[in-house]
C-alpha cells in the first residue's frame, strides 16, 4: 500500500514494483464537467475513459425547439483515469481544469481512507462492453438489478467474445452484467445461451 503526501489516503494497491506503475482510478467530477476534464486529459496524453450513450435532447434553433440525438456521458460525474497516483494528485493541485477530479474511496476495506483502483484486466473487460454506444448495452442503476447474484460466465462468441460477467435479472430478463463494484454496471441486452460458458 502507498500513502500520498497530499491526501494521506492509502492507494488500493502498491504498484511501485510493477513494470508499469500506472493504474486505473475511477474518479468523480463535480458539476458534470467530465467532458471538459476528458478533453484536458486527452491533451496531456493521459489515458482515460468516459462511458457514453446516445440521448434525445431538446435544442433551440431560430426560435424553434427541435429534438436531437446526442452522445452524452452514460453515468453523470464519472471518469476513469489511468496514471500514477502521484501524477494525478499533482495535476489536481496544479491544473485548474483537472482540479474538480475527486478520488473515490473503497468502502469494502477496513480502512475507510483507501483510494479505489481498478485492475487493468477488470477495466479492459468493462470497457469492452461500456464503450458500445448502441442498443446492445444498457447502463444500470442499483434499482434496475433485482435478486441475488447469479452464475459467473464468459462469452465464447460474437462481438463480446472473451467478456466475463454475471448472470443477473434486469427488467424481468436474465442478462450478462459487467460490473465494477461500487462504481458502475452495464448489461448486455442479449447474449445467446449457447455462447455462455460458466466459470469459477
Per the structure block, which three cell numbers stand in for 122?
477488470
More confidently predicted of 71 and 65: 71
Are the C-beta atoms of 113 and 105 separated by less than 8 Å? Answer: yes
Are the C-beta atoms of 168 and 174 separated by less than 8 Å? Answer: yes
Are the C-beta atoms of 163 and 84 separated by less than 8 Å? Answer: no
Question: How wide is the angle at C-alpha 111 spanned by C-alphas 103 and 92, nearest 5°?
Answer: 20
pLDDT, tens digit, for every residue of 14-35? Answer: 434 445 799 999 999 999 999 9
**Pick from 115, 125, 197, 116: which is nearest to 163 by CA?**
125
**CA–CA dist 193, 183 (Å, integer):** 27
pLDDT, tens digit, for every residue of 76-107? Answer: 999 999 999 999 999 999 999 999 999 999 87
118-125: long-range pairs with CB below 8 Å, 24+: 118/23, 118/24, 118/25, 118/26, 118/80, 118/180, 118/183, 119/13, 119/23, 119/24, 120/23, 120/24, 122/180, 123/24, 123/49, 123/80, 123/82, 123/180, 125/163, 125/164, 125/165, 125/178
Are the C-beta atoms of 162 and 191 separated by less than 8 Å? Answer: no
Which DSSP category does 117 fall into?
A: -
Q: Which residues contact 66 (CB under 8 A, 6 or more apart)?
A: 58, 59, 60
pLDDT, tens digit, for every residue of 111-159? Answer: 667 999 999 999 999 999 999 999 999 999 865 665 566 899 999 999 9
Amino acid at each position: 500500500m502507498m500513502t500520498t503526501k497530499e491526501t494521506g489516503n492509502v492507494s488500493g494497491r502498491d504498484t511501485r514494483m510493477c513494470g508499469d506503475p500506472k493504474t486505473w482510478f475511477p474518479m468523480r467530477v463535480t458539476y458534470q464537467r467530465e467532458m471538459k476534464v476528458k478533453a484536458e486529459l486527452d491533451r496531456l496524453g493521459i489515458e482515460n475513459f468516459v462511458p457514453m450513450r446516445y440521448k434525445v435532447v431538446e435544442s433551440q434553433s431560430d426560435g424553434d425547439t427541435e429534438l436531437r440525438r446526442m452522445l452524452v456521458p452514460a453515468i453523470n460525474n464519472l471518469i476513469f483515469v489511468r496514471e500514477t497516483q502521484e501524477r494525478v494528485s499533482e495535476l489536481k493541485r496544479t491544473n485548474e481544469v483537472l482540479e474538480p477530479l475527486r478520488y473515490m474511496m473503497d468502502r469494502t476495506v477496513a480502512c475507510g481512507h483507501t483510494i479505489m483502483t481498478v485492475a487493468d484486466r477488470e477495466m479492459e473487460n468493462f470497457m469492452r462492453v461500456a464503450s458500445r454506444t448502441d442498443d446492445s448495452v444498457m447502463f444500470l442503476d442499483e434499482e434496475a438489478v433485482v435478486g441475488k447474484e447469479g452464475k459467473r460466465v464468459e462469452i465464447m462468441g460474437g462481438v463480446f467474445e472473451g467478456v466475463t460477467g454475471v448472470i443477473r435479472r434486469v427488467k424481468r430478463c436474465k442478462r450478462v452484467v459487467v460490473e465494477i463494484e461500487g462504481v458502475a454496471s452495464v448489461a448486455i441486452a442479449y447474449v445467446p445461451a449457447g455462447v455462455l460458458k460458466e466459470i469459477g
